[in-house]
Structure formats: C-alpha cells, structure tokens
Amino acid sequence: MNQKENPKVELAMITKEYDLYKKKSDKIKALFKFSEKSVPHFWGLRGIDLKVYPGEAVGLIGINGSGKSTLSNILAGIIPQTTGQLTIKGETSIIAIGAGLKPQLTGLENIRLKCLMQGLTNEEVDEILPDIMEFADIGDFVNQPVKNYSSGMRSRLGFAIAVHNNPDVLIIDEALSVGDDTFYQKCVDRILQFKKEGKTIFFVSHSLNQVKKLCDKVAWIHYGELREYGDTEEVVANYNDFIKWFRALSEKEKKEYQNGYKEKQKNFNVNELKEIAVERGHGKSVLRGPAIGTMSTLTKVVLLAMIAALVVFGTLHVRGRSFKSYFAKDTTQKIEQTVIDKTSMDKLYDTYIG
C-alpha cells in the first residue's frame, strides 16, 4: 500500500476564532445576544491545510503568537476548530508544559487519572505504573502534588504518561525545552522509536536545532496562516532568513508589520476562504465548522424559555411548599407575633404602671 495515499492526520481549511471578551460576565451576556457585533474577535488560525503521513515528524515553527499552540490544541482535541475539517486516524496524546496535569493531585494520582481517562483499567494502570515512574524519574516527588513540581518535573511526568499511553499521534508542545540533557535524550530516543513504529509526531518548538534533529517536515505558521510546509532544511532556512529580515527592520517598521497582520486577524471573515478552498480542491462543505460552540436563535429562545420556567416554578415552590401556602403561613406567623407582642405589652403595663 502506498503510504502517501493514506494520511494519518488531515487538516482542511482549519480556522480558530477567539472572542476577546473584556469580562467573564460579557461572555454569558453574549451567549444570549442575538447579534455579537459588539464583541471583538481575533482569528488565531486562518485556513490551515496539512496532510501528515504515518511515521512522519512535523515541526511547527513560527514567531510568538503565530498560532502553534492553537493548532496543537485543536489536533489534541482540547479546543475545537471554528471551521474546517480535521481527520485523525487514531488516538492523540499531547505533552505540553503544565497542560493536562491536575496541580492539586499528586504525580501518582495524575498518572492513574490520565491512564483511566485513556480507557485503561486499574489493573492495566498497575502494570505500567513502574515503567512510567522509571521513565519520569522524579523520585519521591511522585507522591507530592504536581503544583509543587518544577517545570522540568512536570514535563518529565507529562512525557512519561503520554508515551506509555501508546498514542498514534503524539503532540509535543515546547515540553522538551524545559527538560535537562539526560531527559531530553531519553525523549528523543523514544520519539525516534515512535517514528519507526509508524506513529505521527507534531513537535512545537522555538529551538530550530531540536526541530532539525527530530523533524522530517516543518510547517511554518505565520499570523494564523500556513506560510510554508515542506522539507525541514528548506523551511527552517527560509524562516531564519525571515527572522534576519525582521530583526533588521526599525522599531517603527516592526510595529507596522505586526499591526498589519493583527488587523487582518481581527477583521478576517471565513468567506474570504471560499475561493482559496476551491483553488485547493476542497468541496464547499469544508468551510463548515463542527456543530458545537454556537447556538442557533431557536436554541437561544428555547433555553431562555426553560430558564424563565425554572424561575417561575422555583418561586412557586419556596422551601418545598407552594408559593401560596408559603405566604399564607407567613401572614399567620406575623399575626401570631402581633398578638404575642400585644399580650407582653399589656403584662408590662400591668406590672410597672397599672
């Protein structure tokens, strides 16, 4: 079978829109607004196409804020894309500094939790536990809450759990940059072994040397767009040229360049991708998003009606009694109180005055 005909991961016109709410309450308000014009938007990704085959390691490079983590989080299923189609054949596992680990739980508890979430039974977890602990090599800290770990220790634990869950697609987001040399080499060996086994690796890193060492191909993400995708040496060389060019600009020119792209990301409209999608040979449906995260007007109306009904029924049944009986009882209580007060006043009058 020709491997090239069967991509393990396929991204088609992937976009990601972020809402830039000023306050958390604005987010709740926006949920029920029928027009969202007042909320500023920002497009972290704008039509990414990528096909990655079994056994390939792909480096994701780009300047700060270009969209690498957004893309790796979409690949890992942590956040949904806004529009576009994502096809992954197999299980994914992501290793990112601090991601996925529960800070209040100990290392051991995190290992168990993550493995159970991946569908392993308690017995299966017991079997692989010694291997995970040996790979992480964090000693007694395994019994400490993860919030007390250094970033390197978090990365070790995250890496150890992820590789032992045997994913088909492994996403490594900057997690190797915080490990020491010994651990780094151990991870590199494991990544190379994964590649041999036909697994697919995505490797997000600012270290171009690491990218060159590990990756067959490189995707250069630039302000949410895929600027280049291809052979590692070539793309890294072009990226280096860009960095040199950018550094040579004056501060004013740099700002202008950055602001120009940021404006494009703010004012982007998915319809801009229609023609590009056709040029790239996609069908019309590719610009649709997954059916989550948005509410139709009908859904909003139904939801509002349900909340209103809940409020009304909640009021009518205060403390387990009907609205009517609750207030009827209250009135009786008030009358009783008045009678008591009057009797006590009479007694006081009799005693001290009468």
Ligand X SMILES: Nc1ncnc2c1ncn2[C@@H]1O[C@H](COP(=O)(O)OP(=O)(O)OP(=O)(O)O)[C@@H](O)[C@H]1O
Q: Which residues are near ligand X by CB under 6 A?
A: 18, 20, 42, 44, 62, 64-70
Whether the CB-CB separation of 201 and 170 falls below 8 Å is answered with yes
- Residue type at position 257: Y
In terms of CB distance, is 8 or 68 closer to ligand X?
68
In terms of CB distance, is 206 or 321 closer to ligand X?
206
Of the candidates 112, 214, 215, 216, the residue with the CA atom closest to the CA atom of residue 164: 112
Of the candidates 169, 165, 163, 139, the residue with the CA atom closest to the CA atom of residue 152: 139
At closest approach, how far in Å is the CB of 112 from ligand X? Answer: 29
The length of the chain in residues reads: 354
At closest approach, how far in Å is the CB of 156 from ligand X? Answer: 20
In terms of CB distance, is 19 or 231 closer to ligand X?
19
At closest approach, how far in Å is the CB of 152 from ligand X? Answer: 18
- Please state at what angle helix 151-164 crosses helix 181-196, rounded to 10 degrees: 20
Whether the CB-CB separation of 118 and 165 falls below 8 Å is answered with yes
At closest approach, how far in Å is the CB of 66 from ligand X? Answer: 4
In terms of CB distance, is 24 or 319 closer to ligand X?
24
Q: Report the alpha-carbon distance of residue 20 to residue 318 in Å, rounded.
A: 39
In terms of CB distance, is 111 or 204 closer to ligand X?
204
Of the candidates 46, 166, 56, 70, the residue with the CA atom closest to the CA atom of residue 118: 166
Q: Report the alpha-carbon distance of residue 157 to residue 132 in Å, rounded.
A: 8
In terms of CB distance, is 54 or 224 closer to ligand X?
224
Q: How far is CA 186 from the centre of its chain?
A: 27
Of the candidates 55, 53, 98, 52, the residue with the CA atom closest to the CA atom of residue 71: 52
In terms of CB distance, is 110 or 205 closer to ligand X?
205
- Residue type at position 286: V
At closest approach, how far in Å is the CB of 72 from ligand X? Answer: 8
At closest approach, how far in Å is the CB of 218 from ligand X? Answer: 14
Whether the CB-CB separation of 221 and 235 falls below 8 Å is answered with no
Q: Report the alpha-carbon distance of residue 7 to residue 80 in Å, rounded.
A: 20
At closest approach, how far in Å is the CB of 69 from ligand X? Answer: 3
